[in-house]
């Protein structure tokens, strides 16, 4: 598709430039137009018309291609929801009639896998909506979101002891995007704490603290952590893009992001939410 599109644009551009130069030569050499101002207006109109036609030729196929991809993604996503829901529903029915401990453990592992599939489904749905909507914001309880994310991450990191001290806090923000930010920050806290299984999460006065007791960072590393593909430890899994995504999201949502870290003593991440979009409830 793109090869033929390049050829079409090149041919049309070549013909347009040739026609422009030919017309200019005709007016100057053959007709010998003396009114330069009138000639400039005619040639400007000719150039604008050529530009419009070239842009239409190049953009329309791309718009159609993107539109087809979006429709395919939406249809595929819709089809994925049914089998996932069916598996979860039938697992609940099977659990009611099971007493064997080994079978229950197997069912539990399948439930965890389904939960992870559902998370990927929600992320794909979020990405599609982000393509069609300029801004996604909703009102929700931040403390409830934190409990949900910790519950999900416990399936992946069952050895971690989470300490939660959360005030009831209502916020207006991008819920799915913030959930991804929280997942990234907690995942980093765990990943860079190989000798500690503790993670403290506090929410009070519109401030969210995520604290680990791991490797920590010096001042030089803190400056670099938001660079794409930067990793303080090359042996760690992942691609080092998490914190750059976190920073980008916080900048868009006007969330203040701070890191307080000491080498060998761990790291505390602080997210400060705007007062006009965050409210503590009792």
Provide mean pLDDT across the span 147-168: 91
The domains of the chain are located at 1-134, 138-280
CB distance 189 to 169 below 8 Å: no
Mean pLDDT of the chain: 78
Q: DSSP secondary structure string, 9-51?
A: HHHHHHHHHHHHHHHHHIIIIIS----HHHHHHHHHHHHHHHH
Beta strands in 91-177 (DSSP E): 138-141, 161-166, 169-173
pLDDT of residue 169: 93
Q: What are phi and psi of 212, to 5 degrees?
A: -120, 170
| CA 142 – CA 97 distance, rounded (Å) | 36
Provide mean pLDDT across the span 27-39: 67
Per 3-state DSSP, the chain is made up of helix, strand and coil in percentages (nearest 5) of 60, 15, 20
Q: What percent of the chain has pLDDT over 70?
A: 73
pLDDT, tens digit (0-9, with 9 covering 90-100), for 58-106: 677 777 766 777 676 666 666 676 677 777 778 877 877 787 888 888 8
| Domain 138-280 indexed as CATH 3.30.200.20 | no
pLDDT, tens digit (0-9, with 9 covering 90-100), for 207-235: 999 999 998 888 878 787 776 544 555 44
Question: What is residue 79's three-state secondary structure?
Answer: helix
Residues with Cβ within 8 Å of residue 256, at least 6 apart in sequence: 250, 270, 271, 272
Q: Is the pLDDT of residue 190 over 60?
A: yes
């Amino acid at each position: 598709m793109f090869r033929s599109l390049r050829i079409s644009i090149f041919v049309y551009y070549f013909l347009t430039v040739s026609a422009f130069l030919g017309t200019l030569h005709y007016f100057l050499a053959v007709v010998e137009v003396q009114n330069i101002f009138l000639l400039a207006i005619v040639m400007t109109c000719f150039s604008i018309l050529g530009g419009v036609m070239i842009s239409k030729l190049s953009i329309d196929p791309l718009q159609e291609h993107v539109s087809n991809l979006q429709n395919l993604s939406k249809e595929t996503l819709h089809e994925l929801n049914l089998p996932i829901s069916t598996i979860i529903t039938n697992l609940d029915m099977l659990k009611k009639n099971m007493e064997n401990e080994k079978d229950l453990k197997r069912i539990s592992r399948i439930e965890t896998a389904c939960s992870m599939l559902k998370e990927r489904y929600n992320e794909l749905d979020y990405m599609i909506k982000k393509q069609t909507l300029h801004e996604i914001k909703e009102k929700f309880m931040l403390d409830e979101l934190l409990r949900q994310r910790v519950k999900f991450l416990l399936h992946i990191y069952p050895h971690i002891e989470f300490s939660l001290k959360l005030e009831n806090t209502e916020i207006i923000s991008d819920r799915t995007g913030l959930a991804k930010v929280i997942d990234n920050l907690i995942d980093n806290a765990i990943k860079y704490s190989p000798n500690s299984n503790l993670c403290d999460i506090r929410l009070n006065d519109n401030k969210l603290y995520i604290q680990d007791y791991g490797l920590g960072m010096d001042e030089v590393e803190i400056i670099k952590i938001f660079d794409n593909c930067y990793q303080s430890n090359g042996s760690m899994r992942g691609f080092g893009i998490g914190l750059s995504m976190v920073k980008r999201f916080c900048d868009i949502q006007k969330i203040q992001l701070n890191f307080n870290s000491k080498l060998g003593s761990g790291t505390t991440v602080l997210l400060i939410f705007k007062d006009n979009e965050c409210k503590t409830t009792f």
